[in-house]
Amino acid sequence: MYRYDEFDHDFVQARVAEFSDQVQRRLAGEITEDQFRPLRLMNGVYLQLHAYMLRIAVPYGTLNGKQLRMLGHIARKYDKGYGHFTTRQNIQFNWPALSDIPAILADLASVEMHAIQTSGNCIRNVTADHFAGAAADEVADPRPYAEILRQWSSVHPEFSFLPRKFKIAVTGAERDRAAIQTHDIGLHLKKNAAGELGFAVYIGGGQGRTPMVARKIRDFLPEADLLSYCTAILRVYNLYGRRDNKYKARIKILVHETGVEEITRQVEAEWRELRDADLKLPEADIRAIQAYFAPPALTDRPEGDQAVKLARLDSKGFSEWLDQNVVTHRHPDYAAVTISLKGIGEVPGDASDSQMEAVADIAEKYAFDELRVSHEQNLILPHVARADLKAVYDTLVGIGLATANSNLISDIIACPGLDYCALATARSIPIAQEISRRFASLERQREIGELKLKISGCINACGHHHVGHIGILGVEKKGSELYQVTLGGSADENTSVGEIIGRGFSSEEITDAIEQIVETYLGLRLDPQEKFIDAYRRVGPAPFKEALYAGEAKAA
Amino acid sequence: MKILTANRLTDGIAVWYADGGWAETVDHADIARDKPAEDRLEVIGAKAYAANEVVDVNLIDVDVVNGVVEPVRLREKIRAAGPTIRNDLGKQAAKQATWAA
């Protein structure tokens, strides 16, 4: 994986020293909150309901064991023993004291981590497919390009005060696991007819109060032009993006108001000025960055097939986990493993200090010291020999992280909601927990099949409800929590925004409503292979509305 | 009825103004029952903010239930009682009984 060079080390150390000084001056009363607030936000420090919150960057979701162990250490020493992995492949701590943050940042810097640009109106952590480098279906690893974007965007002088935050995602496969069409810029790494690498470029995707699916503005951008083209997009956005209203300040609004044809023309015109200048990526530089992401030397382990077969016969739990949480690797003797942070009734995305340390041990012992955070709030071991899967499974069982529910209804994305977040209008986590408990039976979950349920505790949509097959949005109405349901959203290569199905439900009603929706789907699907999202796209909302609300209409 | 709340500068912990200082529980916060009393609390909050003791200072609506102060809005109830999850931790471990009631 990527290792800091001298410049990175100096840059992060200098920032730790600078921000530590700012914290000391704030605590000494030498600077006011108004002066300090933008400084702390640039360093990932928010003030939430109960305490400060520190958001730490995990660039493109890639971690090693030492780094995860350090996160466990921070959870134990400075927090309440747990951390929360987020939909932007980052981690948040809910309880750090401001006075401890300099020490936390120094600890992070010792393992090449930081919290820079995890907040503020700048280019945020660049996200990528969590199976990058392992997936059988990718044309190339997207992470070297994410790293090039990270280097380019870090304290970029022109793009540090954008109209609003800016999010970039990169995928290297046709099957989009990075939700690129919900980002300000989505990049799909692909090969052209001549076999050269480049990108399909999407802009203007986003969620929040105005959800929009990104529009493709270029079908093939040569890899050497990545930075000049992104600069052109950012420059057009920085110049014309609205600054009068924060709710209309994202690039999606500019794309919508300007029209995709006109904005494409503007970007291309800007790009013509830039493309042959100093932003052109030299071939040697791309290959040098790629070398950092060279896959581990995967020796053949053909004994894996037999080992897996035998272990399957021996353990039903292992067999189920294998079917649900283990995916094909480009090397036939290996697999990529999803470690579910969605235990039944648990808080989605949370991991304890000791779980983080234990997973770090597993990564070092069985997975070439590689780990990923997925935007679906799980951890990934991208390279595990099939021969070692049973040992990995047994260790995960021992630490309570072997729930075999990847992509099933209890693999819920949920934002922190009103339990932690100062912006939230309703709770998300308890709703996720109750739905998870209701569908606790893995047999029932597998019968239902792939179903992406996503919950947000306010209109800002951090829980991605707009693109959930079933989305739940919590709002406050007359002093109580009310949960609106959307159906038909999707965040893959066929991205769609879900439709509101009807009136909302109280916190007591919502789980029953979800069950009703699921039962309706089970009753109308053509066969067990027809997934929820496909069935919904075939039949539309009517049968679900009927199931949820018909009784009311009659009663009225 | 209103009380004064904020987060402590050094550690961000939610606090409520009570008896001349900032308490970590809401139960016995000083209550303003009329406009002049609200104004007095506001002045106290502004001074504490200016003195860098607290941040995010707000007056919030409350009721008094069984002699104990209870915020009206759910957001403020949760701020006072701790998250409604992880009842093994923090003040919600102690406050759980209150929340359930």
| CB-based contact A417:A457 (threshold 8 Å) | yes
Distances in whole angstroms, Cα of residue A375 to Cα of each of A89, A192, A348: 5, 28, 12
Extract the residue ranges of chain A whose pLDDT is less than 70.
553-556
Q: Is B96 a residue whose pLDDT tops 80?
A: no
Q: Which residues of B touch A26 (CB under 8 A)?
A: 9, 52
DSSP A82: E
Contact B10 A99 (CB under 8 A): yes
Task: Please report where in the chains the tokens 């912990």 appear, as a residue.
Answer: B13
Residue contact B11–A481, C-beta within 8 A: no
> DSSP per residue over B72-84, as a string?
SSHHHHHHHH--S
Report the pLDDT value the prediction gives residue B101, as an integer from 0 to 100: 47
CATH 3.30.70 region(s) of chain A? 6-61+71-109
Length of chain A, please?
A: 556
A24 touches chain B (CB under 8 A): no
| Distance from the A364 Cα atom to the nearest Cα atom in chain B, whole angstroms | 30
The token pair that represents A228 in the structure block:
């000049």
Q: Which fold has domain A6-61+71-109?
A: Alpha-Beta Plaits (3.30.70)
Round to whole Å and give the CA distance between A510 and A417: 16
Rounded Cα distance, A260 and A257, in Å: 9
Per-state percent for chain A, helix, strand, coil, to nearest 5: 45, 20, 40
Using the structure block, give the residue that is written with the tokens 């920085």: A238
Q: Which amino acid is at A43?
A: N
The nearest CA of chain B is from the CA of A77 a distance in Å of 14
State the Cα–Cα distance between residues A39 and B76, nearest whole angstrom: 27
Range(s) for CATH 3.30.413.10 in chain A? 135-292, 413-555
Beta-carbon separation of B11 and A26 below 8 A: no
Q: Chain A closest CA to B48's CA: distance in Å?
A: 12
Residue positions counted in chain B: 101
Q: Which residues pair with B14 in a beta bridge?
A: B7
Buried/exposed A225-244: b ≥16 CB within 10 Å, e otherwise: bbbbbbbbbbbbbbeebeee
User: Which of A18-23's residues contact partners 24+ apart within 8 Å by CB, and which partners?
Assistant: A19/A43, A19/A101, A19/A102, A19/A105, A20/A102, A20/A105, A20/A106, A23/A98, A23/A99, A23/A101, A23/A102
CA dihedral A233, A235, A239, A244 (to 10 degrees): 70
For residue B76, the chain A residue with the least C-alpha distance is A49
Could you tell me the pLDDT band of residue B5, with boundaries at 50, 70 and 90?
Answer: very high
- Chain B's closest residue to A421, CA to CA, is B75
**Partner-chain contact B85 A347, CB within 8 Å:** yes
First to last CA, chain B: 21
Q: Which A positions 240-279 lie with beta carbon below 8 A of chain B? A: none
Q: Which residues of chain B lie closer than 8 angstroms to A27, CB-CB?
A: 9-10, 52
- Sign for the CA dihedral angle at A58, A64, A69, A70 comes to negative
Which of B52, B22, B11, B47 has its CA nearest to residue A36? B52
3-state secondary structure of A156: coil
- What chain A residue is nearest to B71 in terms of C-alpha separation? A479
Q: Where in chain A is the domain with CATH 3.90.480.20?
A: 304-398
Closest CB to A98 among B11, B78, B82: B11
| Architecture of the domain spanning A413-555 | 2-Layer Sandwich (3.30)
Q: Which position has the token pair 């990932």?
A: A44
- How confident is the model at residue A551, as a pLDDT? 81
pLDDT at B99 > cutoff 90: no
Look at B84 and A427 and tell me if their CB atoms are within 8 Å. Answer: yes
The region that residue A367 occupies, defined by phi over 0 for left and psi between -120 and 50 for alpha, beta otherwise, is alpha
Residues of chain A positioned with their CB less than 8 A from the CB of B86 = 80, 82, 347
Pairing of strands A52-56, A45-47: antiparallel
A400 touches chain B (CB under 8 A): no
Q: Which residues of A touch B24 (CB under 8 A)?
A: none
| Residues of A with Cβ-Cβ distance to B12 under 8 angstroms | 47-48, 50-52, 96-98
pTM assigned to the model? 0.96
Question: Token pair for residue A101?
Answer: 């943050």
Cα separation, A28 vs A56, in Å, equals: 25
pLDDT of residue A553: 62
Helix H or strand E encompassing A71: helix A65-78
**Three-state DSSP class for residue A390:** helix
Q: For A113-148, what is the HEC assignment?
A: CCCCCCCCCCECCCEECCCCCCECCECCCCHHHHHH
Residue of A nearest to B84 (CA): A419
The residue among A143, A153, A82, A103 whose CA lies nearest residue A123 is: A153
**A304-398: which CATH architecture?**
Alpha-Beta Complex (3.90)
| Distance from the B8 Cα atom to the nearest Cα atom in chain A, whole angstroms | 8
Q: Give contacts of B89 with chain A, Cβ < 8 Å.
A: 80-81
- Closest by Cβ to A49, choosing from B10, B78, B85: B78
ipTM, 2 dp: 0.94
Which of A40, A49, A54, A82 is most worth mutating to test chain B (most B CB atoms within 10 A of its CB)?
A: A49
Q: Report the phi/psi class of residue A213: left, alpha or beta, with left for phi > 0 and alpha for psi in -120 to 50.
A: beta
In this predicted structure, the answer to whether residue B100 has a pLDDT above a threshold of 60 is no
- What's residue A556's pLDDT? 52
Superfamily of domain covering A135-292: Sulfite Reductase Hemoprotein, domain 1 (3.30.413.10)
Q: In this predicted structure, what is the pLDDT of residue B94?
A: 80
Tell me the count of A-B CB pairs closer than 8 A. 74
